[in-house]
Amino acid sequence: MRYTTKLHVRWDDLDAFGHVNNASYLTYAQEARSNFTWYSRKAAGLEPLLVHMVVARAEVDFIEPIYDGGFELDVAIWVAKIGNSSFELAYEFTSEAGLHARARTVQVTVSMETKKSRPLEQNERDFLTGHYEA
């Protein structure tokens, strides 16, 4: 099941070429991921999950540039893979103009005591499984 959120495209996301800068898409992915695992859960009265994680890999495929700011971008996010201590998220960034980009990130759960990777906890795995899409 895909989680969807709306993110604001800021005017200062545009670069000298007049389109949203490539680095902004990683910020959009980060904001969508935070909404997915933290803010939407808090708003629903649930405990945030996957708080202690780091991004180990990120990739973006740019499809159609965004030439304006000041509007809401739709971001769909879902789980593409679940490992022992890591998981992969997939993203699609769309607007009325169509598909702008696709992205993938790999996150690794971390123990704050050891600062090393740790296995996913069962409630984290259950949450991720509920949003898994092959």
Per-residue model confidence as pLDDT tens digits over 81-103 = 999 999 999 999 999 999 999 99
pTM (2 decimals)?
Answer: 0.94
pLDDT(23) > 90: yes
What pLDDT is recorded for position 19? 95
Give the model confidence (pLDDT) of 3-19 as tens digits.
Answer: 999 999 999 999 999 99
Q: Is the dihedral of CA 40, 31, 6, 128 positive or negative?
A: negative
Nearest to 106 by CA among 61, 56, 59, 60: 56
Find residue 20's DSSP bridge partners: 14
What is the C-alpha separation between 75 and 101, in angstroms, rounded?
Answer: 10
Domains of the chain: 3-129 (3.10.129.10)
